[in-house]
Structure 1
Amino acid sequence: MTRADELRANLEQVRERIEKACQAAGRARDEVTLVAITKTFPVSDVRALADLGVTDVGENREQELKEKAPDCPDLNWHFVGQLQSKKSRSVVRYASVVHSVDRLSLVGALSKAASAEQKSVRCLIQVSLAAFGSADAATGASRGGVAPADVPELAAAIAAADGLELGGVMAVAPLGAEPEKAFAGLHDVASRLRSEHPGADWISAGMTGDLEAAIKHGATHVRLGRALLGTRSPLG
């Protein structure tokens, strides 16, 4: 089997899982966007996925984003990893969406970068779901993000910033948590955000192991790497 055949088979399985999850949740399939996370994989895989109809691709590291995005400029590039403020300009140059906004200083850096690049960047607030996880998760296995109580302040800053658009929320289920409980909590956070900012209707949640639970609780974007591309190589 060629690499292209492997990716095609994986993509078919992923699309079937998303379709079934949407059916089970009583949602339309077009409500959920697949974001292919290509961390550590070559740009040839990105191009192969694009040839198969994948339009949205995400990277966790600024270095990989700036190496791959120029070769595939027609794709919608998402940045999903933790972001240092000093790398905002580089990320904004290539990505149209940043999923991991978690502090006010980053809002300022992204706004400055977006204005310099003369573009609009959609920003998602990364929410910590530790409070909705297991006891073990809450004591040290949080996957990053701001506490739900801090979302309104960060949302207001993004909404007021030049060059930025408040898109919604993103989260990763805490290690050891029940995804159902975690994503139900995220759904509540997202609902409160939309009451103040109706256009902030994205929920980026769900990965290879828990996409069904995320879709059940309103995810609009699922971020899949392993299910599409296989086991990642160790980072250098």
Structure 2
Amino acid sequence: MTYRDDDAAAADPAARRTELAANLARVERRIAEACAAAGRDRSEVTLIAVTKTYPASDVRILAGLGVTGIGENRDQEASVKARDCADLPLTWHFIGRLQTNKVRSVVSYADMVHSVDRARLVRVLGAEAVRAGREIACLVQVALEKDPDPGRGGAPPAQVPELAEAVAGTEGLRLAGVMAVAPLGEDPEPAFARLAEVARAVRAEHPDAWMVSAGMSADLRQAIANGATHVRVGTALLGRRKPFVR
């Protein structure tokens, strides 16, 4: 399996740069407007460009446009792009459900893992980070659904304090905050309000764990209104995704 290459972009890199620059300007305007509506400064919110299924050439274009945070959710794809873009000053965010057998690879390039949702993953991440001589920033993923889908990942809110404590006490890891995805088919506003409560509780015990990773292309306004510090935007930046090429 390989990530999608865009024939049009490959044929006309200048046109792709123009397209991405226009998309980025629109996303930046949306973030700025959401911050203004929430009484927040634009500098309080960091944009993470989610480039899954798009080629390393798009990562390079975005980097040239000033984007420094890149999000990926499949190790098989992310590891290749991280290697191909190793010369760029980027922060790599692993945002997908992480299987323990992929941890060694992910630790080799990811600066931050957003999807820490179980104790065994904490132990494996810590061991691999120590082995690699790295410190990995970790976010505890919070399940916001009333009936969580195991396939989406996330720890129930009641389990988050214990999991956060485990991350904070594990060598090789640094507790950075919390992350969540809005429930499918629900108004994201109350879900992100619940996340804000969880985030406050974590910060009360771990003041340096200030990050709240929430909000994507469709719901970044609601996430920012409820304290998101990092928004993960893919479709609005890069376009509607096509299936993987096999």
TM bin (shorter chain): over 0.9
Residue identity in the other structure for 2:61: A
Q: Distance in 1 between matches of 2:108 and 2:187?
A: 37
The equivalent of 2:204 in structure 1 is 195
Q: Whole-Å Cα distance in 2 between the matches of residues 141 and 151 of structure 1?
A: 16
Give how far 1:142 is off: 7.9
Compute the displacement of 1:226 (Å): 0.1
Q: Does 1:71 align with 2:80?
A: no
**CA distance change for structure 1 residues 143 and 174 in 2, over 3 Å: closer, same or farther?**
farther
Shift of residue 71, structure 1, vs aligned partner: 2.1
- Counterpart CA distance in 2 for 1:23 and 1:212 is 10
- Detail structure 1 runs of 4+ shifted over 3 Å in the superposition: 138-143
Paired with 2:118 and 2:152, the residues of 1 have a C-alpha distance of 15
One-letter amino acid matched to 2:50: I
Are residues 1:207 and 2:222 paired? no
Distance 1:123 1:47 in 2: 25
Amino acid at match of 1:31: E
Q: 169, 172, 176: which one pairs with 2:178? A: 169
Secondary structure (helix, strand or coil) at the match of 1:2 reads: helix
8 Å contact kept, 1:128–1:145: yes
Question: Cα distance, 1:140 vs. partner?
Answer: 5.1
The match for 2:4 is none
Select which of 112, 119, 136 maps to 1:121.
Answer: 136
Over aligned residue pairs, what C-alpha RMSD do you find? Answer: 1.3
**1:224 aligned to 2:233?**
yes
2:34 pairs with 1:25: no
Equivalent in the alignment of 1:182: 191
> Is the counterpart of residue 50 in structure 1 residue 63 in structure 2?
yes
Matched, 1:153 2:184: no
CA distance in 1, matches of 2:193, 2:75: 31
Residues paired across the two proteins, number: 230
Q: Work out whether residues 97 and 152 of structure 2, in 8 Å CA contact, stay in contact via their aligned partners in 1.
A: no
Give the distance between the partners of 1:6 and 1:184, measured in 2 at CA. 34
1:134 aligns to what?
A: none
After superposition, the Cα gap between the structure-2 partners of 1:129 and 1:95, relative to the gap in structure 1 and judged at 3 Å, is same
Match of 2:75 in 1: 62
Query: Per the alignment, in what secondary structure is the counterpart of residue 181 of structure 1?
Result: helix
Deviation at residue 174 of structure 1 after TM alignment: 0.4
Q: TM-score of the superposition, structure 1-length normalised? A: 0.95
Structure 1 Cα separation of the partners of residues 151 and 120 of structure 2: 21
Whichever residue aligns with residue 55 of structure 1, its letter is: T
Q: Call closer, same or farther: CA 1:113–1:225 in 2, change over 3 Å.
A: same
Matched, 1:11 2:24: yes
Q: Matches of 1:205 and 1:54 in 2, distance apart?
A: 18
Aligned residue number for residue 233 of structure 1: 242
Q: How far apart are residue 65 of structure 1 and its match?
A: 1.1
* Letter aligned with residue 91 of structure 1: V
How many Å apart are 1:70 and its aligned residue?
A: 1.5
